[in-house]
Chain A
Amino acid sequence: MLGTLAELIAPHAYPDAAHDAGARKVRPRMPDEERLIARAAAGETAAFRQLYERHRADVARLVYRMLGNRSDFEDVIQEVFVQVYRSLKDFRGQAKFSTWLHRVTVNVVLMHRRSARSRPVFADEPPGDGLLRSDDVGPDDDAERRERVRAFGRLLARLADKKRIVFVLHELEGIAPGEIARIVGAPVLTVRTRLFYARRELEGMLREEPSLAGIAGIEGGFSKGHPEEDE
């Protein structure tokens, strides 16, 4: 019943992810996880540590995708696991652990975003300069690809929180809209609508982003239907 974040990365619900399945590694099901969760919930630190070590990389990736490149990235990861520790005793197993962990992560990111609005922001990455850092030295293709992904991350960060979160969960993490609805506590139709508008905004931004303009110009065709037609 219980899955891991990595299991969720496996394609569920949409065709694009299915094509990309080979690129991602699916962690085998861990039959002891339920026991581990129960032991951690009962206050066993060693069990909590195992749980943390098992999921921390997935949480880090998800936080990065939702938050972007920020100096407080690691603080947020730590806060997610503090919240997991505090709330684990309330986890009753009605949802998959991974769904629950996503929900905690999304909430921490949102809380962090809210509190960060009242503080000065120190950008770690100049937006849209298209420059590569010295550690990006490598084959041209790799460097270009890295820059494209980095530029795309910047576009993603410009989306409103609600849209960005559902977009990341669906398009990058491969989670079905129904499960996202449970994670963000919104109706499925709302999730689909947010996905639709997120996609439309990103397509528009893509044309204006210098690092990605080439792709946009060559490929053209931003075709993905309205959520109603989507699936």
Chain B
Amino acid sequence: MSALDKVLREAREDLGVEQARSVDWEAIDKGLFERITEERRVERARFAARGFRRWPEVALAAAGAVVVFALAAREGKRERTLDVASAGDEIAGSILAIEGDGQARVDGAPAVHGLLLRNGDVIEARGAQVTVERPGKLTLRVESGSRVTVTHTRGTLVLALAEGAVEAQVVPVASGEAFAVDVDGSRVAVHGTHLRVARDGQHVSVDLNEGVVSVGQAPRIGSMLGTLVTAPGHAEFVATNVVATLSVTHDRAAVRSPVALGATSQSRPSAIVLPPAVVTKSELSAPPRSPAPSAITASHGDAHSGGGGVAADVNPDHAIAAAVRSCMAERPRVENVTVVVRTTLRLELDDDGSVRAARFDPPVAPDVNACAATSIYKVRFPHGGTEAIPIDFEN
């Protein structure tokens, strides 16, 4: 036995054992449970405040739903909408996951799964990464060591990146910007893409794996006129002088590999639950009344490296869910009204994995059916049988 092994043998039995026994547990207990009690108090107060802030929305949602149903009944339409209208601030998204053993905070309070984010919220990730979903629009990850502030939620979601990095998968939009990241007066605006924006002091780097972004000075209002960067692309600039310092390379080796930011379907109670109505294949195959996701992808032309929007996603469930959300997002909406849909798409699959029949349970509006059909039947699963894809959407 070596000298080290001999000492180790004694250390295994003794080192820290006596110290652990002589710990002042009373003092630790007191401090620990005082802190826990205080954290619970803050958490309860925070949720209570959020619940209170949502009351006007809930009331308006109920009123809106009544109006929708009254009109539908008077016009004798079979169609019933799942859309729930509510007014107020648009929600930036909700926390989908917190990974890591560190801390994630929103406005200084511990972040929790499902927490709704609003304009002005500050998200801090220390030793943990926070995944946020804006249903139908984007999934983003605030990386560990990052601090971001939600600065705009209506239409375009804008985050101000104070430190660290944000990675996002953004569903393409036909016009305008779905998402933007501001860094000290500069902006990276996104139409639909997978990108990562990181800052180290004033130095900003952008990795673009799909789609196209505009990089330039953040405008006071409206869309940004900047330099278009297409995928694959790696851009770098100094935040305070983006115009003069922007450099772009399309060398794939320089572009950081994307992390999977799969859109997921976390259950959220819907205000109105309707009985399911079967939608036949012929209904789903009707000509789309609004642009289908594939059409949106095509409109961006070669900017999208992945080819067809749906086919590019390797997970058929995610691909279909993203396509359906895209269709829902295309529906005309009234300003100051939030639409929330919760449904499950039930698929019957042939042995070769192709989709034989599909129905939404509960049903969705016919134009969404028609739009979704153009994507659903293009997807092939690695198996036959049936598939249920939960879809949550908020706009």
Instruction: Write the residues of chain A forming the contact surface with B, with a CB cutoff of 8 angstroms.
Output: 16-17, 19-20, 23-24, 43, 45, 48-49, 52, 56-58, 60-65, 69, 73-74, 77-78, 81-83, 85-87, 89-90, 103-104, 107, 111, 145-146, 148-149, 152-153, 156, 171-172, 174, 199, 202-203, 206, 212, 215-216, 218-224
Q: B15 touches which one: A45, A172, A202, A206 (CB < 8 A)? A: A172
In the complex, which of the residues B15, B27, B103 contacts A86, with contact meaning CB atoms closer than 8 Å?
B103
Partner of A212, one of B1, B7, B24, B113: B7
- Report chain B residues within 8 Å CB of A23: 12-13
Query: Which B residues are CB-close (under 8 A) to A89?
Result: 112-113
Give the nearest-CB partner of B25 in chain A. Answer: A56
> Is B253 interfacial (CB-CB < 8 Å)?
no
B34-48: CB near A (< 8 Å → 1, else 0) gives 011001100000000
Chain B positions within 8 Å of A63 at CB level? 16
B81 CB to nearest chain A CB (Å)? 35
Point out the residues of chain A lying under 8 angstroms from B7, CB to CB.
Answer: 148-149, 152, 206, 212, 215
Kindly identify, within residues 1 to 57 of chain B, every residue whose CB is under 8 Å from any CB belonging to chain A: 1-17, 19-21, 23-25, 27-28, 31-33, 35-36, 39-40
Residue contacts A-B, CB under 8 angstroms, 21 given = A20-B13, A23-B13, A52-B32, A60-B16, A64-B15, A64-B19, A74-B24, A78-B31, A83-B101, A89-B112, A89-B113, A107-B127, A146-B14, A149-B14, A153-B11, A153-B16, A171-B8, A199-B4, A219-B2, A220-B2, A220-B3
- Cα distance A199–B7 in the bound complex, in angstroms: 12
Q: Does B212 contact A (CB under 8 A)?
A: no
Point out residues on B near A: beta carbons under 8 Å: 1-17, 19-21, 23-25, 27-28, 31-33, 35-36, 39-40, 98-99, 101-103, 110, 112-113, 127
Q: Are A61 and B16 within 8 A (Cβ)?
A: yes
A residues within 8 A CB of B102? Answer: 107, 111
Q: Are B9 and A222 in contact (CB under 8 A)?
A: no
CB neighbours (8 Å) of A212 from chain B are 3, 7
> In the bound complex, how far is the Cα of B6 from the Cα of A63, in angstroms?
22
Tell me whether A16 and B9 are in contact (CB under 8 A): yes
B3 pairs with A219, CB closer than 8 A: yes
Nearest CB in chain B: distance from A108 CB, A: 8
- Considering only CB atoms, which chain B residue lies closest to A155 in the complex? B7
Q: Are the C-beta atoms of A222 and B101 separated by less than 8 Å? A: no
The distance from the CB of B27 to the nearest CB of chain A, in whole angstroms, is: 7
Chain A, residue nearest B36 (CB) = A85
Task: Verify A111–B32 contact, CB threshold 8 A.
Answer: no
Report the minimal beta-carbon distance from B24 to chain A, rounded to whole angstroms: 6
B19–A172 CB distance below 8 A: no
A215 cross-chain contacts in B, Cβ below 8 A: 3, 6-7
Q: How many Å lie between the Cα of A63 and that of B3 in the bound state?
A: 25
**Complex Cα–Cα for A49 and B7 (A):** 36
Least distance between A26 CB and chain B CB atoms (Å): 14
Cβ–Cβ < 8 Å partners of B19 in chain A:
60-61, 64, 69, 73
A86 B21 Cβ-Cβ under 8 A = no
Chain B neighbourhood of A222, CB < 8 A: 2-4
Q: Determine how close the nearest CB of chain A comes to the CB of B316; give it in whole angstroms.
A: 25
A77 touches B23 (CB 8 A): yes
